Amino acid sequence: MNELSVRIPVPPPRGEVAAHRYAFAAAACGGLATAVRGVDVVMRASGALWIAGERALVVADLHLEKGSSYAARGQMLPPYDTRETLRRLAAEVAALAPKVVVLLGDTFHDRRAEGRLAADDAERLRALAVGRTLVWVVGNHDADGPQALPGETADDLALAGLILRHEPRAGVQPGELAGHLHPAAKVRAPRGTIRRRCFVTDGERAILPAFGAYAGGLNVRDPAFAGMFVRPPLAGALGPTNVRAIGWRRLAED
């Protein structure tokens, strides 16, 4: 990864965490190629993470049926979030032909969401398991896992030397891929501020953006992210067709 590569200064090592420099580069798909704990990954503009060595596609926080959940409480939203989210996921599967699809928790917005699925949306989810391994990592919104859909259910998953779980653990967690926090990057620009969902990584761990159409975002400068990184992290901000690398100093608070 030489093109567009950068070197990021690092502090002295903490415990067993190696104090190495890491690089990133533009990928042919428009995403951002980098490494997490030495494992090559691509942050894709969709918000999915691609682990090429395992042909694994990882997405976090789909929050399916969030719209119907809000409607049940009297807050009417267009009821198309599940369809749009699954359409985008199907496009990623078609483009990459993964052997493994990992749903990294909070795939459903609540424990009754699976029962509210439209028949064609349920069929789209079943199609994800055809010809590949589908893993449902459970989250705080969907702790029971799926009840009538195919796939394996896990609290966390070891893959390529990485640990995939829904909620990031506090402190330094080398090799962790997680979701839950819905990271977002805010950057001040000459004509105002820009806020985008983003990946965030220090080369030792990574937190994925929410993939769901109605999922929000938490500023990566929020205290919830404090203490998770051994060096100033990089944000991979999602654009319509590419992922833009943004250094820590350029990120603004809300």
Quote the CA–CA distance of 211 and 197 in Å, as a whole number.
Answer: 9
Residue 16 in any domain: the answer is no
Q: Is residue 12 part of a domain?
A: no
> Does a structural domain hold residue 147?
yes
Query: Tokens 């702790």 — which residue?
Result: 143
**What is the extent of the structural domain holding 122?**
25-250
For residue 2, being part of any structural domain is answered with no
In a domain, 180, yes or no: yes
Whole-angstrom distance, CA of residue 214 vs CA of residue 210:
9
- Report the domain count for the chain: 1
The CATH number assigned to the domain holding 179 equals: 3.60.21
Residue 15 in any domain: the answer is no
pLDDT of residue 110: 80
Q: What contacts 24+ positions apart, CB below 8 Å, involve 42-46?
A: 43/199, 43/236, 43/243, 44/92, 44/243, 45/238, 45/239, 45/240, 45/241, 45/242, 45/243, 46/88, 46/91, 46/92, 46/211, 46/238
How many C-beta atoms surround the C-beta of residue 94 within 10 A?
A: 8
Does 5 map to a domain? no
Residue 183 and residue 195: Cα distance in Å, rounded? 11
- What string of pLDDT tens digits covers the 254 residues of the chain? 323 333 333 333 333 444 445 689 999 999 999 999 999 999 999 999 999 999 999 999 998 987 565 545 555 566 678 999 999 999 999 999 999 999 998 899 688 878 789 999 999 999 999 999 999 999 887 778 888 899 999 999 999 999 999 999 999 999 999 999 999 999 987 788 899 999 999 999 999 999 998 888 999 999 999 999 999 999 999 999 999 999 999 999 98
